[in-house]
Every structure is written in C-alpha cells, then in structure tokens.
Structure 1
Amino acid sequence: MADSQFARPELPQLIATIRSDLLTRFQQDVVLRRMDAEVYSRVQAAAVHTLYGYIDYLARNMLPDMCDEDWLYRHARIKRCPRKNAVSAKGFARWDGIAGTPEIPAGTQIQRDDQVTFTT
C-alpha cells in the first residue's frame, strides 16, 4: 500500500470480523444464525477486500512519484507537461591504456563512475 498509517485487513481477518458481527446480531434465532451467517460473512468480506484493494490502487496512483505509467501520463497532461520525445545524443568516451579509436558495436552499454548507463 502507499505510505500511510492505514493497515489493510487481510481477507481471513475480514471474514472473522464480519462473521462475528453477524452472529452477535442473530443471537435470537439459533436456526437463522447457523444457516446464513457464514455465507453473508464471506460475501461481504470479499466485497470489502476488493474495495480495500481498489483504495490501495488509488492511493498509489494519486501522486506522480509512485504512480503507474498511464497515471503518470495523465498527471503530466493535467499539468500541461507532456512527455518529451526521445532524442539522440553524442559525446566522447575515453579509455586509459587504449591507443587509437576503438570500435564499439551498436547496443553496447557504457557506464560512468557515478553508475549512469548509456547505450551506443
């Protein structure tokens, strides 16, 4: 889940909580209490679990720093900052101890000392 203090209950915990709530409300009728409470608790817990999952999904995507790529495009459109097209770059790479100009095939990855990687 997104960084918050909210803890999403697990499905078995939701089933137990809803089952307990239903059973305490059906105390007057023992037959009804035994028939439907288990089914109701599982159905409601599954629905609530799905809603918690959707809330988790929304919480991750509300802000651009942790969102999915589709949401990132939407955040950029809202702020009128569309994604820029890729452009080629050129530069020089130097190797100590090699004379002349080495042949580097296309697709070779070169990594700087600060761990930034470039692909030829």
Structure 2
Amino acid sequence: MADSQFARPELPQLIATIRSDLLTRFQQDVVLRRMDAEVYSRVQAAAVHTLYGYIDYLARNMLPDMCDEEWLYRHAMIKRCPRKNAVSAKGFARWDGIAGTPEIPAGTQIQRDDQV
C-alpha cells in the first residue's frame, strides 16, 4: 500500500488462515463430513484477496502524488485546475566565454547541465 506498514497477505496465506479458522471450529470427527470447508475457505480467501487489492488501488490513488493519470485528472478537476496544453519554452540562454551573438538555428534544443 501507499506509504503504510500494511503487508497484503498472499492468496495461499489467506486460504491457509481461513481454512485453519474454519477447521478449528469443528471437532476432528466432523472434519470428514465437512470437507466443503476447503472449498469455502478458497472462495472466501479469493474474495478477501480481491478486496485487499481494491483497497490497495484506492490507497495509491487517493492522493495526487502517487495516483494514476485518470485519478490525477479527477484531482485536478476537483481543485479546478485543469491540465494545460504543452507549449514550447521561450527565454534567453547565455554562454560564458563566447564573444558576440552566436547564430543558433531555429528548433535547436538547449539543455542545462542537470539534463533539464
């Protein structure tokens, strides 16, 4: 999950836990007559595993810094801050040690030392 100490159990671990919980409620001689507990534990573990996955998905998307693109769009609309179209940057560039005005062809990409 997003920035929490919660560890989502794996499906086999959930099956074993639910099976153990069910079988501890039965007496030993009743287990043979109640083998549907195995099927029930697998079905319930799958449902719980799906819910854990959905909760994990919601936790990641609840805050804008870690969310998917669709959720980011929704966060922006809630804050009344729609996405802007991409535009080319404009400005001035300076080169130390070069005399005069160098000619730079249109469309030349200029990048800083930090690769921005």
TM over 0.5: yes
Q: 1:33 to 1:2 in 2, by over 3 A?
A: farther
On the 8 A contact 2:14/2:45 being kept in 1, the answer is: yes
How much does 1:111 deviate?
3.2
TM normalised by structure 1 equals 0.77
Three-state SS of the structure 2 residue aligned to 1:109 is coil
RMSD of aligned C-alpha atoms?
2.9
- The runs of 5 or more residues in structure 1 that have no matched partner are none
Q: Which has the higher contact order (CA 8 A, sep 6+)?
A: 2
CA contact (8 A) 1:60 1:67 kept: yes
Secondary structure in structure 1 of the residue aligned to 2:35: helix
Segments ≥4 residues shifted beyond 4 Å: 31-34, 91-110
Whole-Å Cα distance in 2 between the matches of residues 20 and 79 of structure 1?
48
Residues 26 and 32 in structure 1, CA contact (< 8 A), matched pair in contact too: no
CA distance in 1 between partners of 2:67 and 2:74 (Å): 10
Task: Give the drift of 1:26.
Answer: 2.2
Return the TM-score normalized by structure 2: 0.79
Aligned residues: 116
CA 1:31 to 1:24, structure 2 compared with 1: closer, same or farther past 3 Å? closer
Change (3 A) 1:81 1:110: same
